[in-house]
Amino acid sequence: MTHFTVSCLLVALFLCQSLVHAAYNGYYGYSPAAAPYPAEEPQNIMNPVDSCWRLKSDWDVNREDLADCAVGFGSSTLGGKKGNIYVVTNPYDNAQNPHPGSLRYGVIQAKPLWITFAKDMVITLANELMVNSYKTIDGRGAKVEIAYGPCITIQDVTNVIVHGISIHDCKPGKSGKVRSSPTHVGHRKGSDGDAITIFGSSNVWIDHCYLASCTDGLIDVIHASTAITISNNYFTQHDKVMLLGHNDNFVKDVKMKVTVAFNHFGPGLVERMPRVRRGYAHVANNRYDKWIMYAIGGSADPTIFSEGNYFIASDKSYSKEVTKREVKGGWNNWRWRTSNDVFKNGAFFVPSGYGSIPLPYSSAQRFTVAPGNLVPSLTADAGPLNCNRNGPCY
């Protein structure tokens, strides 16, 4: 099959999806004959994650179907799919001895759980929230915020989904005892003030969250964490947004594989969207609005494949470049590639290395990456959705 034929099939797929979604919402104004691709203003189309579940009116009674919708390196993440539903009924938090009905009591359990919320709530944690394996934190149907205290730590565990919550104004954790399972309370030295820290963990999916204004990073993926997907999130008002890789000397991060897709990197962001060390980052179909320093950076010879993104540079002449490399020696052999990206307001990407960059996806991890001009549509609903029971999520 030729490259031209594949491109035509991709265009046909997205036009078809656009018309189906438009019909659902009573919108018939778009004519596919008007242009080879839809206009860059948002249209009624959905990305592959959302189209898997969002239009189903029975999502509330089949919440665990969400786990089948992840794409990329974290696509096999189960979360609490094979467990019971646990309902958070109050925002109260006790770091050492959590009470039934609290969020912490649910996330530390040894068995798989799908965690939901009985009502809107703002949870200010007493100390960092240690999430155990096989957990889903699912905010759909309520307005849930974790804010104004320490936030989420995913450490040395596997199969965790965090979906549909707002995490903002996170503060450093205190030195002290924190419960991480029903049988273990450990002494913690104090967290850094990240919104989400993923440390030595695998099969993690962060989807449709709002992240902003924390003391340190918004999402850190460190200490050989791998099989991670970060999708459909809205990031805003922060300096160091996303770090992938512990430090330049931590060689075990070479195993790290992270998919960053369908996110909206909104106003007021300075750098690290993401910043990558050693591992492999597939950065696909994200929207970037006027970063202050740079958008995608790295050090220690990472591999970065930027595909189908939509970059809008700031008006400042010194922040037009998408890329930044932190290096004492040369970087010409580092493999950084751009494909089907859209560059606005003078934005530009500096590639490096030789040859193509094969995506190390299995067949189950692969997903269709749209041309960059579709990104305003594909990311239009980034962040927590408005989900009412007995109807689709908007």
Is 192 assigned to a binding site? yes
Cα gap 289→148, rounded to integer Å: 26
Least Cα distance to 163 among 129, 196, 132 occurs for 196
Token pair for residue 369? 């990456």
- Residue in the structure block whose two tokens are 């109050």: 90
Whether 272 is a known active-site residue: answer yes
Active-site residue (options: 63, 179, 272, 278): 272
* Cβ contacts of 28 within 8 Å, gap of 6 or more: 22
Q: Is 216 marked as binding a ligand?
A: yes
Q: Are strands 184-188 and 176-181 parallel, antiparallel or unpaired?
A: antiparallel
Angle at 90 between CA 87 and CA 91, to 5 degrees: 115
CA torsion sign for 210, 213, 215, 217 is positive
Residues 136 and 160: their CA atoms lie apart, in Å, by 6
- Is 220 annotated as belonging to a binding site? yes
Q: Judging by DSSP bridges, how do beta strands 113-117 and 84-88 pair with one another? A: parallel
**b (16+ CB within 10 A) / e for 198-210:** bbbbbbbbbbbbb
- 83, 61 in Cβ contact below 8 A? no
Going by the annotation, the residues of the binding site for Ca(2+) are 192, 216, 220
Going by the annotation, the residues of the binding site are 192, 216, 220
Tell me which residues are annotated as active site: 272
